[in-house]
Structure 1
Amino acid sequence: MGRFRQAAMDEGNEAGIDISPLMDCVFILLIFFIVTTTFVEETGVEVDKPQAASSVQQEKNSILIALTEKGEVVYGGREIGFSGIRPLVKRMLQKEEIPVIIQADTAAPSGMLVRVIDEAKLAGAETVSLSTLKPAS
């Protein structure tokens, strides 16, 4: 009888929970959330935005174009110039209809700002907005 008792005790010591299927599920969920996350692409240049009391939060998925005080047009950290606005906006709008947001510096000439807006509209952008700061209350 002692032999059976010893065998039963040995089997009980080896019993455990296999967590490898759980780890597989966790990694699959992690990959799913990484793939479906929408990343905001910044312009890559620091701009001193003007303040506006009527500013509202825009959707995150948009085309961000910066206009510096020196009159440089920047997208994704590189200067594209006025001639690069129209092809960029056309290419981005082929995937889906998204708004164009212009981050213009307060010292940027208004004529250049109008030109950036005009180029975006000529490329087919339905919504062109200006990025501003909400004044401190």
Structure 2
Amino acid sequence: MRIRDHRADDEPDINLVPLIDVILILIIFFVVTTTFDSRSMLGLELPRATGEPAADSATALSVLVNADGRYFIGEQEVLRDDIESLKTTLAEVAGDDRDRPVLLRADARTPHQAVVTAYDALGQLGFRRVMVATAPAPSATPGSAP
């Protein structure tokens, strides 16, 4: 009996399905990890403050946020930077007077989240008269562009 060798009949082929899977995974990886430079598209100009100081700022509750994101209510420092500690200190210093104006002073290098947290705590406690302290705009000299 003659045993036939079937190896000669098998033609080698390349299975493309795993290759397509790998290529698809690589494409998804590169699309997700690619950073798009959207800063070049935005022409952002920050506002300047040229108003007069408020008349009742002497009686206002002072909330200061320094460059590190630490809070100071009047003369008292908030020990932690979470919203519950900030609300507790605000309630202690302000008492029951929620109609009292609040002057929020934030350093120019303060993280934006720290300022938003201060606004959130003031809003949750019921303060509605919140003023933001700004530096005066530089005076325009003749011949300079605005």
TM-score, normalization: structure 1? 0.54
Q: Which residue of 2 aligns with 1:89?
A: 90
Structure 1 residue 112 displacement after superposition: 1.3
Within the candidate set 107, 115, 118, 1:116 is matched to 118
Whole-angstrom CA distance in 2 between matches of 1:52 and 1:134: 8
Against the structure 1 CA distance between its residues 88 and 52, is the aligned structure 2 distance closer, same or farther, given a 3 Å change threshold? Answer: farther
Q: Which residue of 2 aligns with 1:101?
A: 103
Q: Deviations over 1:33-89 (max 9, x none)?
A: xxxxxxxxxxxxxxxxx9832443121211101111111011234321443332343
Amino acid at match of 2:130: V
Unaligned runs of 5+ in 2: 1-45, 140-146
Whole-angstrom CA distance in 2 between matches of 1:131 and 1:93: 23
What secondary structure is seen at the aligned counterpart in 1 of 2:126?
A: coil
How many residues are paired up? 88
Structure 1 residue 96 displacement after superposition: 6.0
TM-score, normalization: structure 2? 0.51
Quick one: percent identity of the two aligned structures?
Answer: 17
Against the structure 1 CA distance between its residues 89 and 56, is the aligned structure 2 distance closer, same or farther, given a 3 Å change threshold? Answer: farther
Q: Structure 1 residue 134 and structure 2 residue 136: aligned?
A: yes
For residues 1-137 of structure 1, the aligned pairs below 5 Å read 52-58=48-54, 59=56, 60-80=58-78, 81=81, 82-91=83-92, 92=94, 94-95=96-97, 97-137=99-139
Larger CA deviation: 126-135 vs 103-112: 126-135
Larger CA deviation: 97-106 vs 75-84: 75-84
Q: Following superposition, which runs of at least 4 residues in structure 1 exceed 6 angstroms of deviation?
A: none
Structure whose CA Rg is larger: 2
Structure 1 residue 132 displacement after superposition: 0.6
Unaligned runs of 5+ in 1: 1-49
Whole-angstrom CA distance in 2 between matches of 1:98 and 1:110: 24
Against the structure 1 CA distance between its residues 94 and 77, is the aligned structure 2 distance closer, same or farther, given a 3 Å change threshold? Answer: closer
Whole-angstrom CA distance in 2 between matches of 1:94 and 1:78: 17
Contact 1:51 1:134 in 2 (8 A): no
